[in-house]
Amino acid sequence: MIDPTVKDKIDQWLTGNYDHEVKAEIQQLIDTKQEEALVDAFYKDLEFGTGGLRGIMGVGSNRINKYTIGAATQGIANYLKKTFPNKPLSAAIAHDSRNNSDVFAKVTAEVLSANGIKVYLFEALRATPELSYAIRTLGCDTGVVLTASHNPKEYNGYKAYWNDGAQVIAPHDKNIIEEVNAIQSVDDILFEGNKELIELIGEDIDTQYIEEVTNLSLSKEIIQKQKDLKIVFSPIHGTGITLVPQLLSSFGFENVTIVEEQATPDGNFPTVVYPNPEEKEAMTLAVAKAKEIDADLVMATDPDADRVGIAVKNHKGDFQLLNGNQTGALLVHYILSAYKEQGLLKGNEFAVKTIVTTELITDICANNEVEMFDVLTGFKFIAGLIRDNEGKKKYLVGGEESYGYLISDLVRDKDALASCAFIAEMAAYFKEKGDSLFDTLIKLYQTHGFYKEALVSLKREGKKGQDEIKQMMADFRANPPKEIAGEKLVTIKDYQSSQEKNLSTGQSKTIDLPSSNVIQFFTEKGSKISMRPSGTEPKIKFYVGVKGILNDNKDFDSEELTLNKKIDALMNSLGL
């Protein structure tokens, strides 16, 4: 039996001013008695999470389609006009290679222009970081990129940006949602665009972006010596192909091999199960090509090119994928080392990571006497911190464990385009010193401690799944364990209540971050377990981090095995 509230919403779509094809598809679901599919499609409206609007494409208020895209865009337009009542408004729009992304980008442009807002629309697919760059370069009030990042092909999404080139954060995100929720009818959405207000952009922005990123290079002379560094790159059928090869060339790298099977943009992502460089399977073709040509470095970007995964040769000569924590730590180490070496550190610099990212970065920053900030998960919070410190402190580098990094503040979102260039520069820098990136990582472990992290994601789809996730978080809050795998719990951080509790003393203190549905457990042996529902996927994520000692690089394998067993024990103790 379908809930009356859900049934009312279905009836609104059947009787409202929606396309005939949409109504026919809904009626077919009703006629074939697909009640679960109907409930999942209509039981709620899509909401902005850590990455904006994201969901499965299809009919319904809980799906990505012309109407949910239109409502979100109308909400943004209404909010902009209220926020800047006497200002000519403008927006930039980009889209990735996903199926329907170009269609949804056109819908977004038409709705904004119908509301009297000037639109700069990229003429073809472009990466998310270039959209962020375009907003700032063109002086826009907002921006939108149509992408579902690294999700499966059935998904699409909508990332909304503010005038600083960062994804919208409080209060704008909540205010936009209020405006969207205030739209009572599809008739409130202005779909008839004004062509005179839509301007196509492309090559000029590409050229400016490449020039400005190239000017950030810290090791130009070393790159000249290592210009033949063997690099393999794959865009995994996404937008990375638009600028990564050009950036590598602009930086001075002359020996770049593209994985041809994945070079053509394709929303069906035919060579992979998931277009996600975090997945070993997605990197298979790139690693195979690297073995074939004996490459120094493998890089692959996700469909909208805001995340990058890498593989390097390990101490056994085999190609090994590095996780987001390892790559992030290496980048922070490289940037701070290069700045220090060149006498560029003035004392007002800072780096940023998210609360679930490795504490190795904290140690690296401390060792270089560079301030480090923790923020909530989501790159918009890193961008917010950059904005808050403009004119006071200099942002150098930041990142998150989920393969997103930002060097300098040219854009205000994670940037795999520039990251690819700097990862290649980093590889050249350490190779010139006689070390591979894996050698460098081991040296970091010897200096700061052997940090090891793992992530477990439990998928829980639909309304039933969301209810299960809510219950899991409620149980952890109400009944936290006294110990995990024999390790006594000493601290609990609950970011929803903004309270950090010392279990030994019973004392609590306030966490100076916005409220968020995250819980962290810290044990007496230095282990850290973080739990949070995903803001962009139907998942609950568990981040487990442990720390050991690596006195000799010969002990790497045995110590890694010990840490892996420790992680497994912690996960098993939590029932994962």
Asked if residue 176 lies in contact with residue 76, where contact means CB atoms within 8 angstroms, the answer is yes
For β-strands 508-510 and 499-502, DSSP reports them as antiparallel
Q: How many whole angstroms separate alpha carbon 18 and alpha carbon 431?
A: 59
Q: How many whole angstroms separate alpha carbon 177 and alpha carbon 174?
A: 5
Q: Which of 61, 113, 132, 149 is catalytic?
A: 149
Asked if residue 164 lies in contact with residue 172, where contact means CB atoms within 8 angstroms, the answer is no
Asked if residue 352 lies in contact with residue 343, where contact means CB atoms within 8 angstroms, the answer is no
516 included as an active-site residue: no
Give the tokens for residue 164. Answer: 């600083």
Q: In the chain, how many H helices and how many E strands? A: 18, 23
Q: Which of 376, 402, 316, 334 is nearest to 514 (CA)?
A: 376
Q: What is the largest CA-CA distance in the chain?
A: 72
Write the single-letter amino acid at 56.
Answer: I
Q: Which of 181, 180, 176, 179 is nearest to 161 (CA)?
A: 176
Q: How many whole angstroms separate alpha carbon 380 and alpha carbon 392?
A: 19
Write the single-letter amino acid at 409.
Answer: D
Asked if residue 518 lies in contact with residue 531, where contact means CB atoms within 8 angstroms, the answer is yes
Partners of 269 in beta bridges = none
Q: How many whole angstroms separate alpha carbon 263 and alpha carbon 321?
A: 20
Q: Which residue has the tokens 């924590």?
A: 325
Residue 161 main-chain phi, psi, to 5 deg:
-125, 155
Partners of 398 in beta bridges = 352, 406
Q: How many whole angstroms separate alpha carbon 240 and alpha carbon 303?
A: 7
What 8-state DSSP symbol labels residue 383?
Answer: H
Strands (E), 147-220: 155-161, 198-201
Secondary structure (3-state) at 195: helix
Partners of 321 in beta bridges = 311
Enclosing H/E stretch for 521: strand 519-523
CB 574: neighbour CB atoms within 10 A?
Answer: 17
What's the distance, CA 193 to chain centroid? 31
One-character DSSP codes across 343-379:
T---S-EEEEEETTS-THHHHHHHHTT-EEEEE-SSH
How many residues are present in the chain? 576
Write the single-letter amino acid at 412.
Answer: R
Q: Which of 461, 242, 209, 425 is nearest to 330 (CA)?
A: 425
Give the tokens for residue 65. Answer: 């389609």
Write the single-letter amino acid at 564.
Answer: N
Give the residue numbers marked as catalytic: 149
